[in-house]
Amino acid sequence: MQLRFYANMRTTVGMASLEISDREIDSFRRLMSLLVEQYPETAFHLLDARGDLRPDVPVYVDGRNPRLMKDGIDAPLEPDCVVSFFSPISSGRMNVEVLREPAFGKQE
């Protein structure tokens, strides 16, 4: 399985791509767990306070959004798939950190 990282995700992981050959990484959720275990800084970019994939993070498995697949982020991954991770999307005057504060328990 090939992982590709773009923008902030590339900076966080420290490389543009990574090969994974672990057959136990058979779902997108398990892949996220592996990434967070090996690169703890990715948790901020990938996961919300419940440990689920953040809705503002664009990720694609072979060009498809796993959230739209039948099994969602529990979608199975094939050993030869390509998983692409992009930086969170934000626009206008709001930035991602401002939008994320409540997820980390900060109160206004």
Query: Percent of the chain scored above 90 by pLDDT?
Result: 38
pLDDT the model gives residue 66:
87
Alpha helices in 8-59, H assignment, sequence order: 8-13, 28-38, 42-46
- Read off the pLDDT of residues 2-37 as tens digits, 9 standing for 90 and up: 999 998 889 999 999 999 988 889 998 899 999 999
CATH number of the domain enclosing 38: 3.10.20.30
Does residue 60 form part of some domain?
Answer: yes
The pLDDT of residue 104 is 45
For the chain, the domain total comes to 1
Residues composing the chain? 108
Distance CA 73, CA 32 (A): 9
**Residue-number span of the structural domain to which 9 is assigned:** 2-102
Q: What is the pTM of this model?
A: 0.76
Q: What are phi and psi of 2, to 5 degrees?
A: -110, 130
Residue 50 lies in a domain: yes
